[in-house]
Chain A
């Protein structure tokens, strides 16, 4: 348990979510990654819930400032509209009291609570089988509030009602969210002829996708087509830890071992069957998601339903944006994404993320992922028109 606690404390720092998170895990006894004055209070929270792990973190910048900004009017909840929130978190409860009672009353019905008092901004989340759940939740809270803040800014700009406070904050954190342009790293060159080679290339490409900040926590997926097999990352696997988390799925459907494969296996399959591409990478780059959600058709009959319905062909430059939910339901992205991505370097799913493809190996889709995110970020800041 202690090694899991330490592992996820480390991952939080690596992911830039917080500098000094407090993480605990519980089997029959509570173990912490470090000591902290808040530990006894948090131990009380743990004791009053049926959980096995908990994270309490003061988010790093820019998340901290964004959260403080979103909490400034003391909302009971923050309600981002992106896919991670819609599917997994529903809404984000907020309190300004850092006490066991205040925390418990939120965590008893939701996966996280944001505590924003005079002094500090904290996020608390928990797991029932592993601290990994708490890590994923923390990561989603940071991701979705980031996306919410910048999407609102864009909406306000388009409506001509830009809020000065928001704009000031945007200016202030802009250096943090616009790192110097990076060239995509060089990855193994294909074509790959064995499952082993393909898997090794996937492990490398997955790690770089995370390193480049193009996906958070365990979201995203990656696959490679061999002659008659698709190798794909497993459901709930972290792209930076793919070794032993890759399922080879025969294209003829002769085996069900792919039952643990990514929830987007069907979409990947469809893309391979309708094109000549050999590799697919899917990430959640933030500015791609932000721009995808900014539709200015105020009187659209589908407004509020953009995640499942859109009757206009929307693009950011050459990249199409399609509606679609995770997985294979009637409104699943497996129906909308494959036709949209044909003959293109990538396609965006509304409020969710980006898929890119490659003809040979992972150099092309990773470069595409990076380039499209950089393009979206440039477009965003051009439109906001802020200096800096």
Chain B
């Protein structure tokens, strides 16, 4: 076997025992790696409570990680979400996957619960569980300061995960967040503070010359992509480059999604941040786009990503970019998701009558992360739980309990359907229709129609499921496609596979997640948007962007269910399950 290591490290924290799993090659073929492989291990235990010690926590890389395939250094972190109760997985950058693969592991499967806070240290073949009592309570920056070396990768939770924040994140290599769904809290529940990995081996590749050829094709397409490498692209400005565009398209969620235009936005785009903070480029291992930006000054902290820039300004009514950078840094230190934190605060702000949050923003974030006040603890449960407790459930802008990111669904109908069908709740990345509805790739589609969107969303979910299994970066798919990555995959693994084969695996991987959610009772009632989007207009040119037509939305969702092979309630069918080899 080339590309894959053929080995998965299993750690049982109840007994402090480790052993090696050697999955059948067929399992690799069916599920590829990353998201797909992780799901195959999670599926039969998905009905366990998220904090049941027997519930598995998975860290998985893909076959392309550690090879010359571009942008392929990512890692999937998966478990059952404390925020939503669905399956949740994050694709995280940095160099975690790179070191895991070089240490000889395709992934790590963790069960049990350590008696005391512990760290997991993987040094090639050697695995150690070490006492981490001393670092429990430390913020992530402190942990990185202590453990990060030039030749290792460090993943750690912060106080938020320890204090029960439902959207606690896992921070990787200082600047990269496995942010969503509360995956950090799953580490906290197992009493794992951190993971350190060092690998010094090599990842074997079947045909190096062929991989070089595939790499050239992909780099050529990336260079031809204005979104990636252009004058205003994300290589230069980071994902914040999208900010001005979202303002121009009048789809920037403002005041808890009550409006879609933020008057102060024109001065708060990536160019303003570039002038103010002189950020430096930073990238994940094996990526030439290097879209991550870190502040130029000495104590480098991550610059906010687009979602954070948008939600910490427009969504909560803040006009100060310094405050955005500080809030972002604080969330990273406390180890909590910026999207959910900002969206929960936006819900709180609407409840309180649109008070000015700016003066107390940092204090509130601190209270959430440390659980030091009752308000902080309540906000730490996420917008849905918070709004319910206040008797105003309609004010939580979430899907399946996960707060929505920074693309208003009234301005992109594919996005509205994709939010609803996402297996991890409010998430833009499962189908990423922004690619064609806004960024014109692979070609532009009409963002104000549902026509054709059901199938497009289904195909893109399949595609992104593959991307997260390879484990490559979604951004490169603004330029390259499964065609070029099939070539890279074949070169690395020696299997002859086509673009359509990859998409087929993607369909299986995504359906597997529908199966897991259905096992926990999720159905069409959960594949839905907050009522606000069907009732209230956005703020386009007069009379405003109209609300989403409920009947058209439901019709598109019905089509999606048929195309995806689900029943009328959005539940998997035995027939399709068998057909995809998931029975």
Contacts and interface: CB of A to CB of B under 8 A. Distances in A.
Interface of A: 1, 4, 25-28, 48-52, 86-88, 90, 107-111, 127-130, 132-133, 136, 218, 234-237, 249, 253-263, 265-266, 269, 325-329, 331-332
Contacts, number: 177
B563 A28 contact: yes
A259 B559 contact: no
Given A50-B503, A218-B443, A236-B440, 4 more contacts: A1-B451, A235-B441, A325-B220, A325-B224
A108 B500 contact: yes
A259 B456 contact: no
Given A128-B456, A129-B436, A266-B231, A235 B248 contact: no
Nearest to B559: A28
Interface in B398-416: none
A256 B243 CA distance: 8
B483 A109 contact: yes
Nearest to A326: B224
B231 A51 contact: no
Contacts of B124: none
A269 B486 contact: no
Contacts of B243: 256
B162 interface: no
23 contacts: A4-B451, A27-B455, A50-B506, A109-B498, A127-B443, A128-B459, A129-B443, A130-B445, A130-B452, A236-B444, A249-B231, A255-B269, A256-B232, A258-B230, A258-B232, A259-B234, A259-B244, A260-B245, A260-B438, A263-B225, A263-B226, A265-B231, A327-B229
B223 A329 contact: yes
Task: Tell me which of B231, B233, B453, B486 has the highest count of chain A C-beta atoms within 10 A of its own C-beta.
Answer: B231
Interface string B242-256: 111100100000000
Nearest to B560: A28
B237 A256 contact: yes
Contact of B271 (A1, A90, A253, A269): A253
Nearest to A109: B498
A263 B224 contact: yes
B219 interface: yes
Contact of B483 (A111, A259, A260): A111
Contacts of A49: 500
B501 interface: yes
B13 interface: no
Nearest to A127: B443
A109 B502 CA distance: 10
A254 B271 contact: yes
B37 to A, nearest CB: 21
B462 interface: yes
A265 B225 CA distance: 11
Nearest to A51: B459
Contact of A259 (B232, B442, B499, B506): B232
B204 to A, nearest CB: 24
Nearest to A111: B483
Nearest to B458: A50
B504 interface: yes
A129 B220 contact: no
Contacts of B454: 27-28
A256 B245 contact: yes
A254 B272 CA distance: 8
A50 B459 contact: yes
Contacts of B222: 329
Interface size of B as a range:
35 or more
Contacts of B459: 50-52, 128-129
A49 B438 CA distance: 25
A236 B483 contact: no
B563 A259 contact: no
Contacts of B500: 48-50, 107-109
B559 A269 contact: no
Given A87-B221, A254-B271, A256-B269, A261 B443 contact: no
Task: Tell me which of B227, B241, B442, B452 has the highest count of chain A C-beta atoms within 10 A of its own C-beta.
Answer: B452
Interface of B: 217, 219-227, 229-234, 237, 240-245, 248, 266, 269-271, 436, 438-445, 451-456, 459-460, 462-463, 483, 486, 498-501, 503-504, 506-507, 559, 562-563
A328 B241 contact: no
A261 B499 contact: no
A110 B482 CA distance: 10
Given A254-B271, A259-B245, A50 B440 contact: no
A256 B244 contact: yes
A218 B231 CA distance: 21
Nearest to B243: A256
A304 to B, nearest CB: 13
Contacts of A136: 443
B498 A108 contact: yes
A368 B383 CA distance: 61
A129 B453 CA distance: 8
A291 B233 CA distance: 34
A206 to B, nearest CB: 16
B217 A90 contact: yes
A235 B459 CA distance: 23
Contacts of A249: 231-232
Contact of B220 (A87, A108, A253, A257): A87
A238 to B, nearest CB: 10
B499 A256 contact: no
A109 B269 contact: no
B534 to A, nearest CB: 21
A328 B243 CA distance: 22
Contacts of B453: 27
A235 B233 CA distance: 12
Given A109-B499, A327-B230, A1 B443 contact: no
Task: Tell me which of B230, B506, B563 has the highest count of chain A C-beta atoms within 10 A of its own C-beta.
Answer: B230
A139 to B, nearest CB: 12
A127 B219 CA distance: 22
Contacts of B501: 108
A269 B231 contact: yes
A332 B230 CA distance: 11
Contact of A27 (B237, B438, B559): B559
B270 A260 contact: no
A50 B459 CA distance: 6
A50 B504 contact: yes
Contact of A109 (B233, B244, B486): B486
Contacts of B442: 127-129, 133, 236
B223 A132 contact: no
B440 A235 contact: yes
Nearest to A28: B559
A3 to B, nearest CB: 8
Contacts of A28: 454-455, 559, 562-563
B421 to A, nearest CB: 14
A100 B463 CA distance: 23
A105 to B, nearest CB: 9
B262 to A, nearest CB: 15
A223 to B, nearest CB: 12
Contacts of A90: 217, 483
Contacts of B483: 90, 109-111
Contacts of A258: 226, 230-232
B226 A327 contact: yes
Nearest to A258: B232
